[in-house]
């Protein structure tokens, strides 16, 4: 269990959630990254998925940036975070087009005004329009904006996606096998379809990142941005101000953490359009970080021993003594957030396709048979080895 995360009211592994749902039906493809259901239209050749997720506590930091700078772009980008946390999960089952989106925005109207809401909605519209240029079409079907100040101190932005796809097109992680290599797609840098440098945070680990990086002055200025159930010593206990420059970059700390969650949709669509059968499985390294893959496949020992260099943002977080080395890989993506599992002979195609879009990719590890038949993850990085 990640103590630095749990002490701030968040579970990195969500073991209690997995336990609560373990008796639920696993869907048409039990090993798929997202639950897949029979086609609501009744076509036996099709299936469907409905998925819900959001930007999480990233909106609390967006609120701080807005209060400190008056810059509404912080809210604009939260929409992308909410979209990608759904879209890129669904990419992992092989869906790349024909998505339907509904959003839910909950706010405290005393603190988050109409201009901020408009910025979020504009962010949804323009991000979906950009994806359409790459053949990833998302229909916005409306949504709900609720004033729920009794429940929400600032703002929460969630989305729900629906998609149909052919059963023959489904990517099922049960097909991950010993001998597969793991191709990782980097989470940081600047993709051709991104407007600026992306520090790689995504929308996981935000609670830890905010409190480990930002100084305690923000606790006093913005108590509405954190839970009063957190021990005071764990609240904004870092050394940085929001406008300080992140070491190793030319961007501010707040902008680095708020980097919009990178989508891999243009890359994955091209790969699946041309070599779908070569992809045995895909893992979106969100909640659980580099140990996420442990939840998928059968009897697989995931060995990751060639990770990307640690991006500057995660390196800065790592320097804080409040989080242990092993936890870093469990809370954060540490440099890559999408994994494709394939034969070694097909890996170069995946790597070359990603690079066409300005996204670095490489083989970060491999799969072996687990000696005891139980999934296991071994990470070796910087001379240290961690088991999950």
CATH at residue 20: 3.90.650.10
What is each CA distance from 198 to 36, 76, 313, in whole angstroms? 31, 15, 10
pLDDT tens figures, 150-184: 999 999 999 999 999 999 999 999 999 999 999 99
Structural domain harbouring 16: 3-387
Question: What mean pLDDT do residues 73-101 have?
Answer: 97
Using CB atoms within 10 Å of the CB of residue 350, give its burial: 0 to 12 exposed, 13 to 18 middle, 19+ buried.
buried
Angle between helices 73-91 and 114-132 (to 10 degrees): 40
pLDDT at 306 over 60: yes
The whole-number pLDDT of residue 16 equals 61
Q: Percent of the chain at pLDDT above 90? A: 91
* Confidence band, pLDDT 50/70/90 cuts, at residue 319: confident
Instruction: Classify 202 in phi/psi space as left (phi over 0), alpha (psi -120 to 50) or beta.
Output: left
pLDDT tens figures, 244-277: 999 999 999 999 999 999 999 999 999 999 999 9
Identify each DSSP E strand in the chain by its residue range. 37-38, 46-54, 99-107, 138-147, 155-166, 181-186, 281-284, 300-304, 336-342, 361-369, 376-381, 384-387
Measured between alpha carbons, how far is 232 from 249 in angstroms, rounded to an integer?
30
Q: Which residues pair with 140 in a beta bridge?
A: 101
Q: Which residue has the tokens 């799969």?
A: 367
Residue 59's SS3 state is helix
Is beta strand 376-381 parallel, antiparallel or unpaired with respect to 300-304?
A: parallel
pTM: 0.93
Identify each DSSP E strand in 65-203 by its residue range. 99-107, 138-147, 155-166, 181-186
Domain count, the chain: 1
The whole-number pLDDT of residue 320 equals 76
Q: Percent of the chain at pLDDT above 70? A: 94
Residue 6's SS3 state is helix
For 33-43, give one letter per residue: b (16+ CB within 10 A) or e.
Answer: bbbbeebeeee
* Confidence band, pLDDT 50/70/90 cuts, at residue 12: low
**Least confident piece of the model among 6-20, 89-103, 120-134:** 6-20
């Amino acid at each position: 269990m990640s103590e630095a995360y749990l002490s701030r009211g968040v579970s990195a592994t969500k073991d209690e959630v997995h336990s609560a749902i373990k008796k639920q039906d696993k869907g048409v493809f039990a090993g798929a990254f997202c639950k897949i259901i029979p086609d609501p239209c009744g076509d036996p050749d099709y299936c469907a998925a409905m998925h819900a997720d959001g930007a999480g506590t990233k909106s609390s930091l967006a609120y701080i940036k807005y209060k400190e700078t008056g810059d509404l772009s912080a809210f604009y980008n939260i929409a992308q975070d909410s979209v990608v946390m759904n879209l890129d999960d669904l990419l992992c089952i092989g869906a790349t087009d024909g998505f339907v989106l509904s959003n839910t925005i909950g706010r405290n109207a005393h603190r988050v005004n109409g201009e901020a809401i408009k910025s979020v909605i504009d962010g949804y519209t323009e991000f979906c329009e950009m994806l359409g240029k790459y053949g990833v079409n998302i229909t916005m079907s409306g949504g709900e904006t609720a004033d729920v100040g009794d429940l929400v101190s600032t703002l929460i932005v969630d989305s729900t996606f629906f998609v149909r796809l052919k059963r023959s097109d489904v990517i099922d992680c049960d097909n991950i096998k010993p001998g597969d290599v793991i191709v990782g797609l980097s989470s940081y840098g600047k993709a051709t379809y991104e407007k600026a440098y992306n520090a790689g945070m995504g929308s996981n680990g935000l609670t830890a990142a905010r409190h480990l990086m930002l100084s305690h002055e923000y606790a006093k200025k913005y108590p509405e941005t954190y839970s009063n159930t957190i021990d005071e010593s764990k609240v904004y206990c870092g050394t940085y101000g929001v406008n300080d420059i992140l070491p190793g970059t030319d961007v501010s700390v707040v902008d680095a953490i708020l980097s919009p969650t990178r989508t891999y949709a243009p890359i994955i669509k091209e790969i699946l359009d041309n070599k779908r059968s070569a992809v045995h499985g895909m893992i979106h390294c969100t909640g659980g970080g580099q140990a996420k893959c442990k939840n998928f496949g059968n009897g697989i020992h995931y060995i990751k021993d060639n990770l990307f260099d640690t991006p500057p943002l995660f390196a800065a977080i790592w320097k804080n003594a409040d989080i242990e080395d092993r936890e870093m890989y469990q809370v954060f993506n540490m440099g890559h957030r999408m994994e494709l599992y394939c034969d070694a002979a097909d890996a170069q195609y995946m790597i070359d396709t990603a690079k066409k879009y300005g996204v670095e990719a490489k083989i970060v590890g491999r799969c072996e048979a687990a000696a005891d038949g139980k999934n296991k993850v071994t990470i070796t990085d910087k001379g240290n080895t961690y088991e999950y």
